[in-house]
Structure 1
Amino acid sequence: MKNASLHVKSGEIVGLAGLVGAGKTELCKALFGAAPTTSGTVKLNGKSLKLTSLMLL
């Protein structure tokens, strides 16, 4: 996955659709910390998830 950007507002419902191998599962894994990112950052409320305990999510 390259150059992905996703902004979701509070209360918004988001669906992911795409071809096989497009990165839907990898995006979800990155959002929930289940897969390490090789570059870039994953942020929640402007804070890096690498620095945030998953227990706080």
Structure 2
Amino acid sequence: GVGQTDGEGIEWTWDDINPCVPLTKEMGPGARHDTIDDQLGSHNWRKVTRIGRLPL
């Protein structure tokens, strides 16, 4: 249920991509979308590749 989820997960994501957000301020909508999409993809890749190193 909801009580068993980690609500901080999204905060970790935003903390990871926040440094690129000011760079998108003057971009057009397409470039902004691509940049944020690339950052989220990179974040997810790092997260997935670290799963094997987590303790059981």
TM-score > 0.5 by shorter chain: no
Larger RCO, structure (CA 8 Å, separation 6 or more): 2
Structure of higher CA gyration radius: 2
Specify which structure has the higher proportion of strand: 1
TM-score (norm 1): 0.31
